[in-house]
Structure 1
Amino acid sequence: MRTVRQLLDTKSPEIHSISPDAPVIDAVRTMAERRIGALLVMDGPRLAGILSERDYARKIVLQGRSSKDTPVRDIMTVDVVCVGPHDSTDKCMQLVTDTRIRHLPVVEDGTVIGVVSIGDLVKAVIEEQRQELDHLQRYIAS
């Protein structure tokens, strides 16, 4: 079973974030340019929240607000579900399933060290299953 640390080791170390005071349009632009579904909202070194495409759709589009005039802090999710580098991919899959979220910031000693997405987790689970299947096929064949 893989750990979050092992998952992060296979990804780019870049962490995409935005200030809570930035206009929402800047966040949406960054997500589009980076082809990502969420940005961490950082107040200096502190994780202040997370902003996802879902937040944008529900709190800007459906409420008829202006993405140019609304600061990120007004629509970000404040109660961020985080994991640690030693947590297992199974635990993370359970978390994203139970909480219906798609992105998990990874925090170690109070510092954000990465983000794991549901796509990263699914990819890891598929790879683990593929390795197990290969192992079983070799065992049966021998």
Structure 2
Amino acid sequence: MISKYVVRDVMSRGIYEVSLDTPLRDVIKTMAENNISSVVVTDRNGTYWGIITSLDVLKHYTKDVDKLKAEDIMVSNIITVDPLTPLERAAAIMVENRIHHLYVVSELREDKIVGVISSKDIIKVLNEALKR
């Protein structure tokens, strides 16, 4: 059904980043104002340290929002795929790891994130395939 697609076909290009010391309040603002459900956490040199998803925010929002920083709630294990990963494989990785986002790394530089694919993106492709 989705076997003809690869991640590059449906991923969102570009990512939103916050720094390790970004207050949780500002992380929430960034996510809300840009209608996104995840951000990448970087240091001052642009090195990726982790991600924050909307679920991570929900786990911590009842605590003192003004004292928490991005580094306090981020998940440091960033699971990535490359743009040519089959969409079926990306979906399987999400299921296996119980996650809703995969970051897409450059084919030329594995340390460069070029986009993100979410479970919502895959659901949209499935929906279109079912209409045919």
Query: Is TM (by shorter chain) over 0.5?
Result: yes
Matched, 1:115 2:116: yes
CA contact (8 A) 1:83 1:107 kept: yes
Deviation at 1:47, TM superposition (A): 1.8
Q: How many pairs were matched up?
A: 125
Output the CA distance in 2 between the equivalents of 1:20 and 1:121: 30
Q: CA RMSD in A?
A: 1.5
Which runs of structure 1 show a deviation greater than 4 angstroms over 4 or more consecutive aligned residues? Answer: none
TM-score by length of 1: 0.80
Determine the structure 2 residue equivalent to 1:33.
33
Match of 2:96 among 95, 98, 121: 98
Contact 1:89 1:124 in 2 (8 A): no
Indicate yes or no: 2:55 matched with 1:54: yes
CA distance in structure 2 between the aligned counterparts of 1:23 and 1:94, rounded to whole angstroms: 33
Equivalents in 2 of 1:75, 1:53: separation in Å? 11
- State the Cα distance separating 1:14 from its structure 2 match: 3.4
Partner of 1:66: 64
- Structure with bigger gyration radius: 1
Q: Higher relative CO (CA 8 A, sep ≥ 6), structure 1 or 2?
A: 2
Aligned to 1:4: 7
- Which consecutive residues of structure 1, in runs of 5 or more, have no partner in the other structure? 134-142
Whole-Å separation in 1 of the counterparts to 2:70 and 2:5 = 34
SS of 1:113 mapped into structure 2: strand
Structure 1 position 55, deviation (Å): 1.0
- The code of the aligned residue for 2:125 comes to A
| SS at 2:105 equivalent | strand
Task: Give the distance between the partners of 2:66 and 2:128, measured in 1 at CA.
Answer: 42
Bigger helix share: 1
Deviations 1:46-86 (A, max 9, x none): 2211001211222342xxx2111111001100011111111
> TM-score, normalization: structure 2?
0.85
